Amino acid sequence: MKASVLMQMRFDGFIGFPGGLIDPTDKTWEDGLNRELKEELNLNEKFYIDKSDYLFSSLNESRNIVLHFYAKKVTYEDFRAIELDSMNAEDFGSEVMGVIRPPLYQMPNGRGLSIFLSNEFAGNSLIQFLKSLLNLGLLSSTEILDAIKNTDKQ
The residue within the footprint of its own copies, chosen from 21, 50, 120, 145 (CB under 8 A), is 120
129: how many CB neighbours lie within 10 A of its CB?
20
Q: Least distance from C-beta 26 to its own copies, angstroms?
A: 25
Distance of CA 81 to the CA centre of its chain: 17
Closest CA to 69 of 19, 116, 23: 19
> Which residue, 30 or 114, has its beta carbon nearer to its own copies?
114
Work out whether 87 is an interface residue with its own copies (CB under 8 A).
yes
> Which residue, 30 or 89, has its beta carbon nearer to its own copies?
89
> Which residue, 30 or 99, has its beta carbon nearer to its own copies?
99
Work out whether 65 is an interface residue with its own copies (CB under 8 A).
no
Work out whether 150 is an interface residue with its own copies (CB under 8 A).
no
To the nearest 10°, the Cα dihedral for 89, 86, 15, 77? 160
Tell me the β-bridge partners of 54.
Answer: 70
> Which residue, 86 or 128, has its beta carbon nearer to its own copies?
86
Helices (H), the chain: 29-41, 76-86, 113-117, 125-135, 141-149
Which residue ranges make up the site for its own copies (CB under 8 A)? 4, 9, 11-15, 80, 83-84, 87, 93, 97-103, 107, 111-120
